[in-house]
């Protein structure tokens, strides 16, 4: 049956204020119950969620220390003496680091001590020959008791300097290799005993919210839809999936395309200032949650534009004429919505939003506003009141 626009569609379903509160209480209780169930499921797989959250950071740290290893070897090649042989070429180091995932530490050992220890404990490598007791430990030089004390101190200092030069000449570099996955520097750190427990709880709660979100949104929608007109429900049914898709697209953009360049940019300051990063997992969790949420919210721009055009705040001509100002506003909002505020985050958010601004204009042209429908709705609401 088709209703007239001046007819009260809610005449048979009116509720008192107390009944509205009771209905709201029931909807919130059912939503919280669903959230609790989702949180319980999240606790079972919270450790996997923590690993998934850590993955971009671990990859960023691995990239940072791989570049640092190649830079360290290049500097070592330039600082070594001409008589000191290079165990590897720079191309070999790059292949071992990039292709094999290996990192190294440069240590120096005393060649004479190594040879002495091998002769003592493994003489078979030297044809069975061992060091004599007198050759194992060099005897200290004796000074004349009648010499002047100042001269003796000067002679001792000169002997010490000569000994240091001899020891330095015996030092040879040794490269100790390990796989990048076994490097403790690429793992996030914690400072408190209970910090990791809190991270596990937060990650489980976030997963629980994602799992239970359809049920929670349904309860909210069931409460709100009771006060909407049929044409208003129609717009929600059409734009709801579109809004969810834009939110997921924004979150995926942040996780897949924004995190790597942002981390490389931020870690570049550590390399520039000669400091190694030691990120905390709690700080990273806040960043990895806030950035995708900011992207998901900002990607709702076409729907916001369509809504403002529908209620008559803006029209398509205004959107087209004021595009320069709109782009400036987009960059300002990107600086606010990105938690780090670094240029890469702002750029990677503002560029897609500029494209979505154009999509919003096309959406408004494709679905032009029907002023009669909104005027009739406004008249019907006035009749209800």
pLDDT more than 90, % of the chain: 25
Residue-level pLDDT at 369 = 64
Tokens, residue 56: 């971009």
**For the residues 8-13, what does the mean pLDDT come to?**
50
Residue-level pLDDT at 44 = 92
Q: Are 170 and 112 in contact (CB under 8 A)?
A: yes
Q: Are 189 and 280 in contact (CB under 8 A)?
A: yes
* Residues in Cβ contact with 329 at an 8 Å cutoff, skipping those fewer than 6 apart: none
Q: Are 292 and 259 in contact (CB under 8 A)?
A: no
Sign of the CA dihedral with 49 first, then 50, 51, and 56 last: positive
Distance CA 303, CA 307 (A): 6
Q: How many CB atoms lie within 10 A of CB 53?
A: 21
Three-state SS at 199:
helix
* Residues in Cβ contact with 35 at an 8 Å cutoff, skipping those fewer than 6 apart: 208, 209, 212, 216
Tens-place pLDDT, residues 64-117: 999 999 999 999 888 877 767 788 999 999 999 999 999 999 898 888 888 888
Three-state SS at 52:
helix
Sign of the CA dihedral with 188 first, then 191, 192, and 195 last: negative
Residue 99 is inside which H or E element, if any? none
Residue-level pLDDT at 129 = 59
**For the residues 354-359, what does the mean pLDDT come to?**
92
Distance CA 275, CA 268 (A): 10
Residue-level pLDDT at 325 = 93
Residue-level pLDDT at 372 = 56
Mean pLDDT highest for which of 18-27, 209-218, 326-335? 326-335
**For the residues 299-317, what does the mean pLDDT come to?**
86
Q: What are phi and psi of 107, to 5 degrees?
A: -120, 155
Where does 338-385 have alpha helices with state H?
Answer: 343-366, 371-384
Distance CA 202, CA 42 (A): 10
- Top-confidence residue, 325 or 155: 325
Residue 179 is inside which H or E element, if any? strand 171-179
Tokens, residue 247: 């939110």
DSSP code string of 267-331: HHHHHHTT-----BHHHHHHHHHHHHHHHHHHTTHHHHHHHHHHTTS--HHHHHHTHHHHHHHHH
**Confidence band for 179, pLDDT divided at 50, 70 and 90:** very high
Distance CA 216, CA 37 (A): 11
346 by Cβ neighbours in 10 Å (0-12 / 13-18 / 19+) ranks as buried
> pTM score, two decimals?
0.72
Q: Taking the domains of the chain in order of start, what are their residue ranges?
A: 17-41+189-384, 58-139+163-185
Q: What are phi and psi of 124, to 5 degrees?
A: -65, -25
Sign of the CA dihedral with 79 first, then 264, 179, and 275 last: positive
Among 13-27, 65-79, 191-205, 270-284, the range scoring the smallest mean pLDDT is 13-27
**For the residues 297-312, what does the mean pLDDT come to?**
86
303 by Cβ neighbours in 10 Å (0-12 / 13-18 / 19+) ranks as middle
291 has a pLDDT exceeding 50: yes
Token pair 């960059």 is found at: 331
Nearest Cα neighbor of 244 from 214, 221, 278 is: 214
Token pair 């949650």 is found at: 289
Residue-level pLDDT at 6 = 47
Tens-place pLDDT, residues 370-385: 655 445 455 555 555 5
7 has a pLDDT exceeding 60: no
DSSP code string of 203-258: HHHHHHHHHHHHHHHHHHHHHHHTTS-HHHHHHHHHHHHHHHHHHHHHHHHIIIII
Distance CA 242, CA 249 (A): 10
Tens-place pLDDT, residues 226-275: 777 777 677 777 778 888 888 889 888 888 888 888 888 888 888 888 88
Chain-centroid distance, C-alpha 24: 38
């Amino acid at each position: 049956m088709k209703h007239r626009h001046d007819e009260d569609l809610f005449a048979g379903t009116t509720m008192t204020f107390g009944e509205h509160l009771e209905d709201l209480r029931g909807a919130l209780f059912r939503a919280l119950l669903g959230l609790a169930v989702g949180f319980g499921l999240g606790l079972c797989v919270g450790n996997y969620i923590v690993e998934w959250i850590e993955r971009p950071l671990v990859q960023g740290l691995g990239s940072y220390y791989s570049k640092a290893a190649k830079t360290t070897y290049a500097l070592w090649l330039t600082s070594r003496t001409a008589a000191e042989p290079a165990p590897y070429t720079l191309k070999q180091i790059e292949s071992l680091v990039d292709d094999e995932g290996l990192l190294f530490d440069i240590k120096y050992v005393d060649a004479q001590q190594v040879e002495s220890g091998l002769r003592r404990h493994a003489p078979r490598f030297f044809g069975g020959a061992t060091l004599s007791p007198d050759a194992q430990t060099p005897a200290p030089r004796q000074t004349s008791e009648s010499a002047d004390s100042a001269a003796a101190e000067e002679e001792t200092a000169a002997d010490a300097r000569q000994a240091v030069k001899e020891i330095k000449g015996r030092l040879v570099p040794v490269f100790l290799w390990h796989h990048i996955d076994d490097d403790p520097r690429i793992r996030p750190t914690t400072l408190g005993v209970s910090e990791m427990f809190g991270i596990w709880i937060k990650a489980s709660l976030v997963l629980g919210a994602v799992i239970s979100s359809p049920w929670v949104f349904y309860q909210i929608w069931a409460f709100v839809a009771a006060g909407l007109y049929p044409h208003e429900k129609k717009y929600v049914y059409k734009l709801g999936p579109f809004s969810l898709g834009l939110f997921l697209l924004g979150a995926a953009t942040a996780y897949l395309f924004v995190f790597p360049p942002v981390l490389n940019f931020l870690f570049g300051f550590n390399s520039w200032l000669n400091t190694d990063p030691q990120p905390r997992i709690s700080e990273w969790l806040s960043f990895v949650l806030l950035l995708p949420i900011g992207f998901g919210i900002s990607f709702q721009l076409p729907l916001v534009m369509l809504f403002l055009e529908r209620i008559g705040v803006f029209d398509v001509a205004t959107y087209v004429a004021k595009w320069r100002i709109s782009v400036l506003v987009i960059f300002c909002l990107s600086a606010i919505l990105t938690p780090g505020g670094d240029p890469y985050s702002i750029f990677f958010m503002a560029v897609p939003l500029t494209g979505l601004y154009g999509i919003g204009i096309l959406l408004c042209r494709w679905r032009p506003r029907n002023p009669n429908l909104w005027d009739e709705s406004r008249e019907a609401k006035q009749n209800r009141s």
